[in-house]
Structure 1
Amino acid sequence: MLHFPFWKRLLIWGVTIVILLMAVPNVFYGRVERHNDAVKTIESSGETPELAADAAGWPSWLPSGLVNLGLDLRGGAYLLADVQVADVYADRMNGLWPGVRDVLRAERDTVGAIRRVDGPPDELHVKIANPDGMARAMELVRGLSRPTVSLTGVGSNDIEVSGQGDTIIVKLSEAEKRATDDRTVQQSVEIVRRRVDEVGTREPSIQKQGETRIVIQVPGIGSADELKNLIGTTAKLTFHPVVSRTSEAGADPGPGNLLLPSMDENGVHYIVDQSPVVSGDELNDAQPSFDQNGRPAVSFRFNPTGARKFGDYTRDNIGSPFAIVLDNEVISAPVIQDHIPGGSGIITGNFTIEASNNLAVLLRAGALPAEMTFLQERTIGPELGQDSIEAGRIATLVAFAAVLAYMFLSYGLFGLFANIALIINVGLIFGLLSLIGATLTLPGIAGIVLTIGMAVDANVLVFERIREELKTARGPSRAIELGYEKAMSAIIDANLTTFITAVILFALGSGPVRGFSVTLALGILTSVFTAIYVTRLIIVMWFERRRPKTIEV
């Protein structure tokens, strides 16, 4: 006989109501969005009357999670960037030079005087005065090698050392280059994500594509140029010893040195050691501030490793200038007046308040390890996104109305019960999307439309089984019970295989494919729940109230 314990009824309706409550904020999307933005701004910057009014526009005791709208629904910017991974090879060689110099200097009696000479950017060329000591010099440099850290580079070292006359040539091994390329792209993805998150955009999609490319989609941003300005700046901060200062733009800096222009002093260039004392990678924090004269500046703090390097250098070089370099421009070149052990300092220059804030954001997010070239850029206006929403809404309503009409005409009162469950089903989908913070795209809307069509499949299977059982002259109660029991295996099989397909699409797909798979998977879960529990409970409650002698399905 039909029987639902009270605890099970309470659990079914409780779960349904809670998830439907999660979907309610999407009905008041604009008001809830303003509330969320105001609350976030108040927490970070303080309260104003306007922010307080927006925050009060939605009750704080109600759920405030929203389904985030994707690029095709909200409008925004799209970029396809190519990471110039070869730039990192030169940085690796520059970073290796101090170690090579130290080990060779320790064997000066064997190798003679050493100096770095010009060579390709991805190679380190070191000339020794005594060619007879070449074998020993190469042995010493090979001792600096480390195993390549990657699955494909097991058993390989990170550098290759060779000799040519009186010159040692050091370069990265092929295995290390592959590992470096992969790390560089992954690091670029994370840094771009942090930079975009810093400005508070909603649900950016930042993914690796191929070997060296990154796809960046940011809903709600004004233009592709605005996005490029945010992420395209390398913001590479380094601190270099100053060799000399010159007014000649074409002066020869000499091997191992760089000629860099001054940001503030017109016509002035600095010759600096190309090996930095400390780099921006060792920054812990950077915040906009003001200098002692009340001008905008940026204060910074190093991590323990950077603080130790910075402190040691300032201790040993009191009275010498050092250059603060940002993106190959000397911001300032102060003279070290005293030992600075704390690992903190301030960057001054001709900054505006906005410029100091932007620089602090870039420094906090970290330096891009390599330059990015933008291959494609596209801006989707909000009006196009609104057109997509309208098209999706019309498609959903048409599909919804057609399915509701079909079910009612085919199964009468039982079809009406299925329609009630279908409406609840769509609400549950949006509630779960809000709960997990998913992003809804146009393909995601297609997944919802498909779910609406598939959602009644389980009810059709049950109702047809009930029809068959009624033909055997069983009572209506027993016919309903057997209908659900015998249709259960077919319902589970059909939905399980579709769910597995959705999981595979999510695992192997990207972007729009994932958006489709998420709504499809959630739709399958809610469809099975509403068909097996909600529709059945509605029918049981109706049957207990009416106690019909016969039923027509």
Structure 2
Amino acid sequence: MTRYPRWKFFLLVAVLAVCGLYAMPNLYPDAPAIQITSAQAGGEVDERAMSRLRSALDDAGIVYSDAERVGTSWLLPLSDSEAQQRARELAQRTLGRDYVVAQNLAPTTPDWLRRINASPMNLGLDLRGGVHFLLQVDMDTAIEQRLESWVSEMRLLLRDENIRYRDVTHEGQTITARFDSSADLDAANSRVRDQFRGFNISRDNDNNALVLNLSNEEIAKIQDYAVDQNRTALNNRVNELGVAEPVVQRQGADRIVVQLPGVQDASQARRILGRTATLEFRLVADDVDPRRAASGIAPPGTEIYPFKRDDRNPVILRRQNIVTGDQVTNATMGFDENGQPEVNISLNSAGARNMQRVTSRNINKPMGVLFIETRTDIEHITNEDGEREQRATTTREAYVINVANIRDTLGSRFRITGLDSPAEAGELALLLRAGGLAAPIYIAEERSVGPSLGADNIKAGLNSMMLGLALVLVFMVLRYKVFGVIANIALVGNLVILVGVMSMIPGATLTLPGIAGIVLTVGMAVDANVLIFERIRQEMKWNNLPPLQAIEAGYGRAFQTILDANITTLIVAVILFAAGTGSVQGFAVTLFIGIVSSMFTAIVGTRAMVDLIYGGRQRAPTALSI
């Protein structure tokens, strides 16, 4: 028998060494931790804040390990999940709203493995735990915003039709348009009825007015649109964060569930999801005496806002918006000619028309960019029954981030400057690029799936895998003796390769269906060896071939059968990955990798071991332990 090629030995050793090295971090489970991040994008957590936190933890008797700086935040490992929950509540009370405190997991992988980018597999929410957000959509504000838009549309319609009107206002869910004469009322009646079909419209002849009451059907449409649009925007934001296998789905009439398994920065996720950041472009009321802003009383048709959070420099803006954040189609962060951060904005067709129409009429007049942010904080309080519960508090902040003179007519593309840092510009671009929110949202509930659930699921999955593995090992030894031991060693090598490859794939996440794929792989991994070993037996029994020639013939003639049998399974795995989502894709990935690695270990691995045992003898063996 021709000896087995040496390069295949080296290939086998290299694959096992590399995969074993990258599988090692899975022996070091992550520890519960809390992550402290500045509430402002790009802000750092100073050492004084960490000293206050350490003192508070020491006074409360909470055991913690040395904190590790991760970028601009700090990661503080705790002893267990109970201490993690207590430490988070204590840290939030101690540090206040200037910092975001989130539950996370701290890596315990040795530094020498981290230096080669070796890290444990990402585990899904059902295994590792993660963050569960329940977001509430503010339906009253959604209807209010839509009514304000309709009021602007009605004013524009009446002006385009040259119909004189006294005023157009709304109160509650009713829009009232008042006219100077009955002739104007008659002229407006037909046009308004054609354009505003979602209202129940009636005439008030005594006051020369049209009264538009929002219909229940239109209210339902607004609510459905608000939830669906917010769900889409949140899904885009989660994708921007790079979270593996996230869940963003609607719950009930006005809530959205967001689950983030395996997040690397839970505090960033909370800050991004808990914020409603929008832009409004408005003209500056340059005809108003700036000194009136100091009094805090805005003239009719205007509003007063601070400039970059500085109440000492207020800006008076017109109430009417030129463009709003929901008309932004793309936003990217960049740098201007002076190296300062900027956000490049692209508008949809409606926004571009409005921007062009207004700016063409207001050349050399100032325009302001109003930034409006709604932020939700979760407070842990003790209710009357003495039980701990969560309470959401929402704060709204609005300030002008940029004021510039209109030098030329603007269209669908322009830029925003005057931002404080690249981090602020990048986060603003992310929020705008992910899609405008149709209505404000706030975090009604934030829950971390504790490691106990993950540990139970992992234990159940490992028990099933170990039981299946043990039964396969026993069967192979009893059935094929020494060759069964060889197949068992290859099976263990197959698991090492599978875990190593899963750990090396960026973004790959192991879930319970993924563990099911591994269990299935364990059962299927020995199929190739069974085909080979039975073929060797047949060659010795039916064709009377010597042992070494029977080994050569068994591996050679069984290869095509093994390939045909596994290609069909690989095709199914590819289809599952392409057509499935979430957990189905996780199952498909582990199945695909498991089949490929099992073919490699069965054909190359066992062949190498058989050659080491039987091929290096001075005398050819007369029998095989098979």
Band of TM-score, shorter chain: 0.5 to 0.7
1:116: Cα distance to partner? 3.0
Query: 2:593 maps to what in 1?
Result: 522
Gap change, CA 1:72 and 1:238, over 3 Å in 2: same
Counterpart selection for 2:553 from 471, 481, 498: 481
1:409: Cα distance to partner? 3.3
Are 1:326 and 2:373 matched, yes or no? Answer: yes
Mapped to 1, the partners of 2:438 and 2:595 lie a distance apart of: 43
Query: 2:472 maps to what in 1?
Result: 403
Write out aligned runs for 1:452-491 (5 A): 452-475=522-545, 476=547, 477-478=549-550, 481-482=553-554, 485=557, 489=561
Gap change, CA 1:91 and 1:428, over 3 Å in 2: farther
1:107: Cα distance to partner? 2.4
Q: Name the % identity.
A: 24
Query: 1:153 maps to what in 2?
Result: none
Query: 1:58 maps to what in 2?
Result: 112
1:370: Cα distance to partner? 3.3
Mapped to 1, the partners of 2:115 and 2:402 lie a distance apart of: 57
Are 1:496 and 2:496 matched, yes or no? Answer: no
Query: 1:131 maps to what in 2?
Result: 185
Structure 1 residues not aligned, in runs of 5+: 35-43, 143-158, 289-297
Query: 2:260 maps to what in 1?
Result: 217
1:190: Cα distance to partner? 0.7
Query: 1:447 maps to what in 2?
Result: 517
Query: 2:359 maps to what in 1?
Result: 312
Q: Which amino acid aligns with 1:474?
A: N
Counterpart selection for 1:379 from 448, 452, 476: 448
Query: 2:622 maps to what in 1?
Result: 549
Mapped to 2, the partners of 1:259 and 1:472 lie a distance apart of: 96
Are 1:417 and 2:492 matched, yes or no? Answer: no
SS of the aligned residue for 1:113 comes to coil
Would the aligned equivalents of 2:165 and 2:177 in 1 still touch at CA under 8 Å?
no
SS of the aligned residue for 1:425 comes to helix
Counterpart selection for 1:434 from 491, 503, 510: 503
Are 1:105 and 2:159 matched, yes or no? Answer: yes
SS of the aligned residue for 2:542 comes to coil
Are 1:361 and 2:427 matched, yes or no? Answer: yes
RMSD (Å) for aligned C-alpha atoms: 5.8
Counterpart selection for 1:68 from 99, 122, 137: 122
Mapped to 2, the partners of 1:134 and 1:424 lie a distance apart of: 80
SS of the aligned residue for 1:117 comes to strand
Gap change, CA 1:186 and 1:30, over 3 Å in 2: same
Query: 2:416 maps to what in 1?
Result: 344
Mapped to 1, the partners of 2:127 and 2:624 lie a distance apart of: 46
Counterpart selection for 2:246 from 171, 191, 205: 205
1:30: Cα distance to partner? 8.8
1:333: Cα distance to partner? 6.2
Mapped to 2, the partners of 1:464 and 1:365 lie a distance apart of: 62
Write out aligned runs for 1:3-152 (5 A): 10=7, 14=11, 17-18=14-15, 21-28=18-25, 57-58=111-112, 62=116, 64=118, 66-81=120-135, 91=145, 94-95=148-149, 98=152, 101-108=155-162, 111-113=163-165, 115-118=167-170, 130-134=184-188, 137=191, 141=195
Mapped to 2, the partners of 1:29 and 1:486 lie a distance apart of: 35
Gap change, CA 1:330 and 1:76, over 3 Å in 2: closer
Higher share in helix: 1
1:401: Cα distance to partner? 4.8
Would the aligned equivalents of 1:76 and 1:221 in 2 still touch at CA under 8 Å?
no
1:239: Cα distance to partner? 3.9
Query: 1:531 maps to what in 2?
Result: 602
Length-normalised TM-score, structure 2: 0.59
Query: 1:147 maps to what in 2?
Result: none
Gap change, CA 1:373 and 1:176, over 3 Å in 2: closer
1:269: Cα distance to partner? 13
Q: Which amino acid aligns with 1:485?
A: R
Gap change, CA 1:106 and 1:529, over 3 Å in 2: same
SS of the aligned residue for 1:215 comes to strand
Query: 1:236 maps to what in 2?
Result: 278
1:363: Cα distance to partner? 5.9
Would the aligned equivalents of 2:126 and 2:457 in 1 still touch at CA under 8 Å?
yes
Gap change, CA 1:97 and 1:360, over 3 Å in 2: farther
Query: 1:152 maps to what in 2?
Result: none
SS of the aligned residue for 1:217 comes to strand
Query: 1:145 maps to what in 2?
Result: none
Mapped to 2, the partners of 1:242 and 1:273 lie a distance apart of: 10
Query: 2:319 maps to what in 1?
Result: 273
Would the aligned equivalents of 2:334 and 2:344 in 1 still touch at CA under 8 Å?
no
Mapped to 2, the partners of 1:227 and 1:440 lie a distance apart of: 21
Would the aligned equivalents of 2:279 and 2:370 in 1 still touch at CA under 8 Å?
no
Length-normalised TM-score, structure 1: 0.65
Would the aligned equivalents of 1:321 and 1:335 in 2 still touch at CA under 8 Å?
yes
1:492: Cα distance to partner? 4.1
Task: Give the length in aligned residue pairs.
Answer: 493
Q: Which amino acid aligns with 2:536?
A: I
1:497: Cα distance to partner? 4.8
Would the aligned equivalents of 1:242 and 1:321 in 2 still touch at CA under 8 Å?
yes
Structure 2 residues not aligned, in runs of 5+: 32-41, 44-67, 72-107, 204-208, 375-394, 409-413
SS of the aligned residue for 2:343 comes to strand
Mapped to 2, the partners of 1:320 and 1:528 lie a distance apart of: 67
Higher share in strand: 2
Gap change, CA 1:493 and 1:299, over 3 Å in 2: closer
1:27: Cα distance to partner? 0.8
Would the aligned equivalents of 1:461 and 1:491 in 2 still touch at CA under 8 Å?
no
Mapped to 2, the partners of 1:180 and 1:278 lie a distance apart of: 16
Query: 2:236 maps to what in 1?
Result: 190
